[in-house]
Structure 1
Amino acid sequence: MKDYDDTTWFLGQWGRFQQTVFFLLCASVFPNGFGAFSLVYLTDIPSHSCLVPDVNLTQDWHKAIIPIKVVNGKQEWSSCSRYRLDVVRNLSALAYVPGRDVNLTDLELEACVDGWTYSRDVYQSTVVSEFDLVCSDQWKQPFTSTVYFLGVLVGSFFSGQLSDEFGRKPIFFGTMAVQTVFTFVAIFSPSWTVFCILLFISGLGQISNYISAFVLGTEILTGNVRVLFSSLGVCLAFAFGYMMLPLFAYFLRDWRSLLLALSLPGLLYLPLWWFIPESPRWLLSQGRVREAEAILREAARKNKLQAPQIIFDNYHVDADETEKQPKEHLSIFHLLKTRNIRNTTVILCMVWFTLSTGYFGLSLNTSRLHANPYISCFISAAVEVPAYISSWLALRYLPRRISVICILLLGGVSLYFIQLVPQSLSELSVALEMLGKYGLTTGTALMFVYTAELYPTVLRNTATGTCTTVSRVGSCIAPFLLQLSTYLKYLPYITLGTLAVASAFATLFLPESFGRPLPQTIQQMYRRESSLKCPFITRKKPSKAVVLSESKL
């Protein structure tokens, strides 16, 4: 579709119609801030030790039955073993005193065969304490988060294509309903397996409605308002939802009550169906010109403006570029069909993977920032506010490619420096980690806009969904990435820093989109990419055969 922004100039940029779309779509993102990081509290591991049955033991033996071990130079009660109960019971019956009459190191250990007892100093219950995801089953704790992000991955993959096929609006509300309903149903999980299945389905809608809302707002809004929405509006809404999570968790310390509180807000957004329109750009890409005109006439009425009698009288798509393109259904394979588009897609997927791995890895690591998990989570969430403001300023005044490169280098170098900080300066380590998260969060906000600006309308949601899907592979491995510290303390930070620096170099080969209109056809995207000149390489002019091949897509 050509000259869409010029054709719809009569609406202005900030009338009542645009304000309604802007604020309602931003409000719909709040539950995403809840759901994405509720796992920090749902799957946190409370202090625990082996359960000692109510047997006849002296007070001394009852205290001594749990062995003490040294972890990182500190003495702690063992959480996965105890001295054999039958032996301790006999020694207690003989009135032997542990440490005086019996050397405890000579006693045989056994596993927690009677279960565990969990501390309730911080939580009344979590999924870990509910289903005993500790000791031999401790792998299930990070795997629970991975299952959720696998759902997010699958949802990202299919929602983008479904949105390009059936429209932004129905997929937006459908995935929001999936997230709300299955988050609520998970409260009644009788086992860890059932909980994971419901968590996976909930994840299907978690990022899908975020992407649909993002693309819907990007295509309806224009000019500086579009940049404000995509870089600051939805991102700050997500951050505020994230910042409210520790408040909910502080007052609701039972995991079922917390899930209930996080699922209810989704019901408030169902009436938005009658206030949020379909994307006119998408309708035009499907050849549904009358429906697009009807939406714009209603928008003009809300803005108290007079719409032209025929809005899209000059609307046309070049016949030599896209014969019958409104009826053509493009798939994910068109992102890889030609060299130029394939290179852009591969580089974007690499950058998205890096940003997602680092963002979720650092976010799920909040328990190590402060002894109080609620303060830790709030600090991690608060860092995102200046990050999103920075991304908005960068999108408004700076070229996209340079902005992404600089922010990746900032995040990567900050994480590298953590290993150089002495243990006595733990506050500096926390500051560097938060600076790293600031950089990766800013980069994530930049990439949503950058990706949407590089692809044409017929592929925009598919491309954004595909890149997000690849990024979710990073979020799936993020819970296990932190386990690398058992082999080398700073290995997680070294890994993330290396990925960030490599992605910064790859970004050099992406085209620039700053100050240019959104491409409407694949041919327009090709012309933009074929004009790319990297400062370190010289590209040959594309042959006529390549141009002809691109124009047939």
Structure 2
Amino acid sequence: MATKKSQETTPLDGDEAPVKLDEVLSKLGAFGKHQMITMCMLALVYATNSMYNVNYVFAVEDVNYRCKVPECESAGSPYIVPWLNASSPHLEGPKQCLQHPPLSAQCHTFNTSVLRECQEWAYEIPNSFVAEFGLACEEWKPPLVGTIHSFGSMIGLLIQGQISDRFGRKTAAVFAGTMGAVLGLTKSFATSFWLYLVFEGLEAAIGDALSPMFMLSIEIVEKKRAVLFQMILLNCYTIGQIIMPFIAWGVPYWRNFLRVIYAPTLIILTYSFFLDESIRWLFSKGKKKQAIKLIEKIAKRNNVKVDKTLINKLDYIDEDSSKVTDRKLLIKTFRSRIMLQRFLVCMVWWFTITLINFGMMISSVLISGNKYLNFALLIMMDIPANIFYWLALSKYKRKLPLIGSFIVGGIFCVSQPFMPKGYAWIGLALFMAFEMLATFSYNIVYMYTSELFPTYTRNSMHSICSAFGRVGSLLAPQTPLLMTYWTGLPALIFGLTSLLSGFLTLFMPETAKTQLPDTIREAEVIGKRSVIKYDPAKESLKGT
């Protein structure tokens, strides 16, 4: 709702000082008609994207199987043949499985010393992913889907960041969202495991619209409203993940499950007509006329008035300077010692949060009980984490909450393996508390990273950090294997990486009370005690 204050025309002081964009965005309001329409469009992307990142947990589910025994398959057979799976101790090698002894013996009396290659398989769920592609005794193949998705996301983030910074947030988001829907639906018709794997990788690489949409969401409102705006969208992301297991429960056939979750995002193609570009990005590219026209459109839609003199004095990069190539801008960003140091710390942050969050998510479906409810209950812990994220950042800025969450979470995780076995409930409580803190840290890192770099390379730098973080998600599926050496080893590794990230955060600047930097010089002075007056004339983009 537009306030009375924002409806009034605000005169500008007589000085010639350039006006910062946040001053204009504050007059446009944070929850006017324009912002609410945009938020609804963003909410669909957030909710569906959360399903796309981990749908393989249910689509590529593990099922029991055994060698097919014709004499025991007929209806009304009095014999019971035990089901096996990839973790069965009787499986001693690929394509080797228990087979029945001589036909004179009963089918349920397996002779464990009799092993031979199976010619045909029977599956407990005949229309499952594993059954349709014949993956019995090839236990390495189903987890490969998640690994390929993470690898595709890592490559895709680098691509999306470049597209977003060069062609705009809107263009990148519409392209990625549409391709994600098309490729997601296409993989539901895959006729072989390897073809499915190709579509999975392509979808992750070019069909992830979350990164450009996130940039659009934080650039659409003034800085002090960005956290609240993001908290609402993060809850949409969480709700999508909570709904997903119930869709999988209600639509158990994996092909139909994929079609149900991917079909709604075909509507993203229409965003090219209704979604507006980021005003901040337009100014960073020297597109002043388009940016002013958009400001006037938003003001009219929100029924507010903004002084044209104020708009005309907006500080922006001029047309000539903006013609420098995106590659040179990225190189210049890395040449800055301060930017490079921040980038290295951000990479450690992202590695830590993806390793922990994906590791926790994988652990949730291994817990005994209903896997759909277990997954939903674990993800529900993200809702209070999202609300806590908003409240903490509103009061305690960025740096202190992130340090606290990393260090406290690390202590919880390191302590968990050493809890007395007679007090298992304490270990479970620490596990759930660590999940909340992990989500809390993830949210802060997502926001914090975007505030440390200049507008013209913001999405690229954010995407590179996020892409490196995907190494953590690649390693996460392998962490349960460490339990063969010591059951507490995964938790200990999670805790130590969290403590390291908390320590490194001490060297990062506070960004809460600063405007989003548009140039490297503006970004470099963030957090410095002495206020350095910014002179746009000194920000040369041509000498890179």
TM-score (norm 2): 0.86
> Which of 112, 119, 124 in structure 1 is aligned with 2:124?
119
Partner of 1:191: 192
- Is 1:225–2:225 an aligned residue pair? yes
Q: Report what 2:497 is aligned to.
A: 499
Structure 2 distance, partners of 1:239, 1:438, is 12
Three-state SS of the structure 1 residue aligned to 2:487 is coil
Does residue 19 (structure 1) correspond to residue 19 (structure 2)? The answer is: no
Q: Which residue of 2 aligns with 1:31?
A: 48
Distance in 1 of aligned mates of 2:237 and 2:48 = 8
Matched, 1:259 2:258: yes
2:347 aligned residue: 349
Of 309-318 and 464-473, the range deviating more from structure 2: 309-318
CA distance in 1, matches of 2:98, 2:240: 46
Give the letter for the 2:227 counterpart: V
2:365 match: secondary structure: helix
Matched-pair contact (CA < 8 Å) for 1:219–1:279: yes
Query: Does 1:214 find its partner at 2:214?
Result: yes
1:544: which partner in 2? none
Q: Is the Cα–Cα contact under 8 Å of residues 346 and 449 in structure 2 kept in the other structure?
A: yes
The code of the aligned residue for 1:225 comes to R
Instruction: Encode CA deviations 1:430-481: one digit per residue, 9 max, x unaligned.
Output: 3322222211111111111111111111121111111111111211222222
Name the stretch that deviates more: 24-33 or 2-11.
Answer: 2-11
Distance in 2 (alpha carbons) for counterparts of 1:362 and 1:56: 39
Match of 2:15?
Answer: none
Cα distance in structure 2, aligned partners of 1:203 and 1:227: 27
Partner of 2:373: 375
Seen in structure 2, the aligned counterparts of structure 1 residues 51 and 416 have a Cα distance that, compared at 3 Å, is farther
Quickly say closer, same or farther: Cα 1:56–1:528, change in 2 above 3 A: closer
Distance 1:371 1:115, change over 3 A: farther
Asked if residue 327 in structure 1 is aligned to residue 323 in structure 2, the reply is yes
**Is the 1:142–1:480 contact (alpha carbons within 8 Å) kept by the matching residues of 2?**
no
2:533 equivalent in structure 1: none
Q: How many Å apart are 1:13 and its aligned residue?
A: 3.0
Q: Give the C-alpha shift of residue 34 in structure 1.
A: 1.4
- After superposition, the Cα gap between the structure-2 partners of 1:222 and 1:530, relative to the gap in structure 1 and judged at 3 Å, is closer
Counterpart of 1:133 in structure 2 is 135
Q: Which residue of 1 aligns with 2:115?
A: 109
Residues 17 and 303 in structure 1, CA contact (< 8 A), matched pair in contact too: yes
What amino acid maps onto 2:212 in structure 1?
Answer: S
Assess, with a 3 A threshold, how the Cα gap between structure 1 residues 279 and 83 changes in structure 2: closer, same or farther. closer
Superposition pairs of residues 369-518 of structure 1, within 5 angstroms:
369-423=367-421, 425-518=423-516
Contact 2:151 2:201 in 1 (8 A): yes
- CA distance, structure 2, for counterparts of residue 363 and residue 67 of structure 1: 27
Cα gap change, 1:336 to 1:68, in 2 (>3 Å): closer
Q: Deviations over 1:120-140 (max 9, x none)?
A: 4xxx643223323343x2112
Q: In the superposition, relative to structure 1, how do residues 191 and 426 fare at CA in structure 2: closer, same or farther (>3 Å)? A: farther
TM-superposed CA distance for 1:362, in Å, is 0.8
Please say which of residues 485-494 and 400-409 is displaced more in the overlay: 485-494
Q: Which residue number in structure 1 is paired with residue 145 of structure 2?
A: 144
* Aligned-partner Cα distance in 2 for 1:210–1:448: 12
Quote the Cα distance in structure 2 between the aligned partners of 1:475 and 1:507: 21
* Structure 2 CA distance for partners of 1:490 and 1:335, relative to 1, 3 Å: farther
CA distance in 1, matches of 2:481, 2:276: 45
AA matched with 1:110: R
| Change over 3 Å in CA distance of 1:333–1:364 after alignment to 2 | farther
CA distance in 1, matches of 2:73, 2:465: 61
Deviations 1:141-196 (A, max 9, x none): 22210001111111111111111000110100100011100110001111111000
Distance in 2 (CA, whole Å) between partners of 1:151 and 1:166 is 21
TM-score (norm 1): 0.85
What does 1:38-77 correspond to in 2, within 5 Å? Answer: 38-54=55-71, 63=80
Alpha-carbon distance, 1:212 to partner: 0.8
Q: Distance in 2 between matches of 1:23 and 1:144?
A: 31
Which amino acid letter does the alignment assign opposite residue 28 of structure 1?
Answer: V
CA contact (8 A) 2:452 2:511 kept: yes
CA-based RMSD: 3.1
User: Residues of 2 paired with 1:134 and 1:415: CA distance?
Assistant: 36
- CA–CA distance in 1 between the matches of 2:106 and 2:271? 72
Shift of 1:403: 1.0
The 3 A distance-change label for structure 1 pair 98 and 310 is closer
Please say which of residues 426-435 and 340-349 is displaced more in the overlay: 426-435
CA-CA distance at 1:52 after TM superposition: 2.3
Q: Distance in 2 between matches of 1:60 and 1:248?
A: 35
Residues 43-96 of structure 1: CA deviation (Å, up to 9, x unaligned): 221223333234899x999657x6999x9xxxx7846755555xx22xx44x69
Preserved contact between residue 68 and residue 77 of structure 1 (Cα < 8 Å): no
Q: Deviation per CA, 1:255-284, whole angstroms, max 9, x where unpaired?
A: 111111111110233333333200111111
Matched, 1:242 2:241: yes
Specify the SS of the correspondent of 2:66: strand
Question: In structure 1, what is the equivalent of residue 11 of structure 2?
Answer: none
Moved over 4 A (4+): 59-64, 66-69, 76-85, 95-99, 422-427, 529-532, 547-553
Q: Given that residues 285 and 319 in structure 2 are in contact (C-alpha distance below 8 angstroms), is that contact kept between their aligned partners in structure 1? A: no
Structure 2 counterpart of 1:478, one-letter code: A
1:526 Cα deviation from its structure 2 partner: 1.4
Give the % identical residues. 24
Q: Which runs of 5+ in 1 are unaligned?
A: 533-546
> CA 1:434 to 1:132, structure 2 compared with 1: closer, same or farther past 3 Å?
farther
| Cα drift, residue 98 of structure 1 | 9.2
Conserved? CA contact 2:235–2:386, under 8 Å: yes
